[in-house]
């Protein structure tokens, strides 16, 4: 399993907090930043964003966009509602994401139930 996926799995159970970046809570952006940092990626993590809207340009600058099937450790971008995007990390058994409804970071089996907009991977 990838270092990124392992870091995401270690965060399972952490409480959800909008704009959260650590032990006091994580949102989907904070979860992905935490996992990617464990994989050695350094860079600015966005803050101050709203629950709806946003752009994917930062992911394109930091990671390699993948065409094809997602693998363990890949960053998933999903459309969970009109103008509402959500990030997760693919694992061997499913994906890890910060679930606002459950108020914690969880792993769900299989692929996300929402449309997948893009997949990114840390470069070699």
Which sequence spans correspond to the domains of the chain? 3-121
Note the pLDDT tens digit of each residue in 61-110: 667 788 788 999 999 999 898 878 899 999 999 999 999 999 999 999 99
- Report pTM: 0.88
Distance of alpha carbon 102 from alpha carbon 72, whole angstroms: 23
5-22 per-position pLDDT tens digit: 999 999 999 999 998 998
Label residue 52 exposed, middle or buried (CB < 10 Å: 0-12, 13-18, 19+).
Answer: exposed
Helix runs in the chain, H state only: 3-10, 28-38, 57-62
Fold of 3-121: endopeptidase fold (from Nostoc punctiforme) (3.90.1720)
What are the two backbone dihedrals, phi and then psi, of residue 38, each rounded to the nearest 5 degrees? -65, -30
11: left (phi over 0), alpha (psi -120 to 50) or beta: alpha
């Amino acid at each position: 399993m990838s270092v990124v996926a392992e870091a995401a799995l270690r965060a399972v159970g952490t409480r959800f907090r909008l704009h959260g970046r650590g032990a006091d809570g994580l949102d989907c952006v904070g979860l992905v930043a935490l996992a990617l940092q464990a994989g050695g990626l350094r860079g600015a993590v966005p803050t101050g964003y709203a629950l709806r809207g946003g752009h994917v340009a930062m992911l394109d600058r930091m990671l390699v966009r993948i065409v094809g099937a997602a693998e363990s450790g890949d960053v998933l971008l999903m459309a969970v509602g009109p103008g509402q995007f959500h990030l997760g990390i693919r694992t061997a058994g499913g994906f890890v994401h910060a679930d606002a409804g459950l108020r914690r970071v969880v792993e769900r089996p299989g692929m996300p139930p929402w449309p997948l907009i893009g997949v990114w991977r840390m470069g070699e």
